[in-house]
Each structure stands twice: as C-alpha cells, then as structure tokens.
Homo-oligomer: A and B are copies of this chain.
C-alpha cells in the first residue's frame, strides 16, 4: 500500500483517540506527570470502569505508558510531543472563539 495513504490512516487512527473530551482531559492531566487510575478518577469525576476503558484504549494505541507500583498503576504520556500539537489546536480554538465573538458584537451594533 501507498506509504502516504498508510500515514494518513495512522494519523486518522490516532486522532480517533482525541475525539473524546474525557480522554483529552486525562491526557492534559498527565501533562504534569504520571497519575494512578484512582488519582485520575478523583481529578475527573468519571467512573472507574470508564477511565479504565479510556486508558486501556490509549495504552493500546501507545499514547500512554504504564508502570505498576503495588496495586497502583501509574499512567504517563508516551510521547510528550503530542502536547505541542494540542497547544496548537487550542490556540486555533481560542482564535475561533475570539473571531465569533467579534462577529456577534458586530451584529449587536447594527
């Protein structure tokens, strides 16, 4: 298969991970370093099974890595470069929000 197509598919596949706001929240919490499932449960308020599902998915896709310490399992980012990509998207979103706000204001002025 065409190598370019393959990369597009891998890219699309990776982005599927980022289509869930809870997963993005989890990843953003991991920005500061590894966290256990329980810590993530407290930080997000999600059900344990649900967090575990999200983490399992992200581990399969090699977005996060794990380290066991006793009964705890600590999750961390496998490649911190993803944070840079997230930051760019966030910049774009803020710009979009700002643009929309300006547009709304112009409508009000009429």
Contacts and interface: CB of A to CB of B under 8 A. Distances in A.
B18 A86 contact: no
A89 B25 contact: no
A22 B15 CA distance: 13
A84 B93 contact: no
* Copies of this chain, whole number: 2
Interface in A1-55: 4-5, 7-16, 18-25, 28
B92 A82 contact: yes
A97 to B, nearest CB: 8
B18 A93 contact: no
A101 interface: no
Contacts of A9: 21
A19 B21 contact: no
Closest 5 CB pairs of A and B: A8-B21, A15-B18, A85-B88, A12-B21, A85-B85
29 contacts: A4-B25, A5-B21, A5-B25, A7-B90, A7-B93, A8-B21, A8-B24, A8-B25, A10-B93, A11-B18, A11-B24, A11-B89, A11-B93, A12-B18, A12-B23, A14-B89, A14-B92, A15-B15, A15-B18, A15-B89, A19-B19, A62-B96, A79-B92, A79-B95, A79-B96, A81-B92, A82-B92, A85-B88, A85-B89
